[in-house]
Amino acid sequence: DIQMTQSPSSLSASLGDRVTITCRASQDIGNYLSWFQQKPGKSPRLMIYGATNLEDGVPSRFSGSRSGSDYSLTISSLESEDTAIYYCLQYDKYPRTFGGGTKLELK
């Protein structure tokens, strides 16, 4: 199975900060990587697919990038509504596998 190693596991940042979360894949997954946002008591929300493509309705301050086997989710200017847990998912191979999650809080 492909392992998705997500870092950091938690992150505290201030309003307006640039925030980056990373997932490293244990095998080549091409660009078959998605990012999800989950708020307390809610179902996950798809934010990014294909490593870099913004899902409809997602604010443009969110972006995704890839460097080799490292995939990143960046929030260019943190807003209060962005506090949540973020997960990556590889969907290149079965079984699909999620990263362990990053809890993003306001400082």
Partner 1 sequence: QVQLKESGPGLVQPSETLSLTCTVSGFSLTSNSVHWVRQPPGKGLEWMGIIRSGGSTDYNSALKSRLSISRDTSKSQVFLKMNSLQTEDTAIYYCLSRFAYWGQGTLVTVSS
Q: Give the nearer residue to partner 1 in terms of CB position, either 61 or 103.
A: 103
Q: Give the nearer residue to partner 1 in terms of CB position, either 18 or 30.
A: 30
Q: 23 near 5, Cβ under 8 Å?
A: yes
Q: Give the nearer residue to partner 1 in terms of CB position, either 45 or 66.
A: 45
Instruction: Give me the least distance between CB of 15 and partner 1, in Å please.
Output: 26
d(CA 78, CA 57): 17
| Interacting residues toward partner 1 by CB under 8 A | 1, 34, 36, 38, 43-46, 49, 55, 87, 89, 91, 94-101
The span from the first CA to the last CA of the chain, in angstroms, equals 36
Instruction: Give me the least distance between CB of 60 and partner 1, in Å please.
Output: 18
Instruction: Give me the least distance between CB of 48 and partner 1, in Å please.
Output: 11
Looking at the DSSP bridge assignments, the partners of residue 4 are: 25
Q: What angle do CA 74, 80, 86 make, to 5 degrees?
A: 45
Instruction: Give me the least distance between CB of 70 and partner 1, in Å please.
Output: 19
Q: 19 near 11, Cβ under 8 Å?
A: yes
